Chain A
């Protein structure tokens, strides 16, 4: 059965996805707190998920939906590892500001 015509055009989803992705990328660059930077990465991953689902709908296949699950699992694994790393940094330095984590510069 062909998919029913979407109420919202595909372009709208893609534009929202692009805006979310850009917001994440800009946020990553201008924010100083490592937790916020990490949240920006999650935002970018979710923007990609939105694109995948929208494209999947356009093609009428389930591939894109499957990829979304893979991306979500990877994002979860990244969150587990990332938060643990952030925690060890905080324990050793008592700061989460990216500018203060600079002892390796010469």
Chain B
């Protein structure tokens, strides 16, 4: 389960070179918006060469390709899809795009005799995409969905605000769809890179709506995101206590510290412990 996903422009050699040192869960090498039209080809070439030598210590590698409505997307896929990457991030995704992308990926995987099956993370940045987000979430290769708030609010012809009232509905609907299909809900980046307090507040809002991860555009944002989307020490200790009591009681429902504990609470506690273990936040030697 992802927490932080860092965008890195594929046209920037210095940033590519430093990619291995940051504590993100996934890196998104961008071939789309962060790369100017005149640099598209050189960025793709640079990224391809970088991926052939990069050692990203088993972190997830995502590639944001150009959208399928232009020829660049196919050039991106032909050049970049290989066993060295994990996921394709698809901009302005509709269900039909994902069905098409699945077909293309299958062909490339066969042609290149790949051992990996590439995942897809669609970006919801059109009102029409939001209205079919449940179908998008149901697609097989899709294991997470990213909200692209800048483009979505542009499509909606509304302003982006610090408070984020305008993206309450898209956030809630995307989170709901992702939870229903047990895939990652990845929140839109917080664009004021100098305001870490603002980032923390924004991340908390997303977390409370059901998001488990957030994209970011600067390495300094990673720590805050990892912290917010990880269970707190208090949550872990409580979860450990509940699971320990459950193992002792062997009952579907029981009382702990004067409160009723039943199946949903036990399941949630198990999830918290699993997440804590994955992120090495284990307390009390477990």
Q: Do A and B bind each other?
A: no
Binding site for B on A (CB under 8 A): none
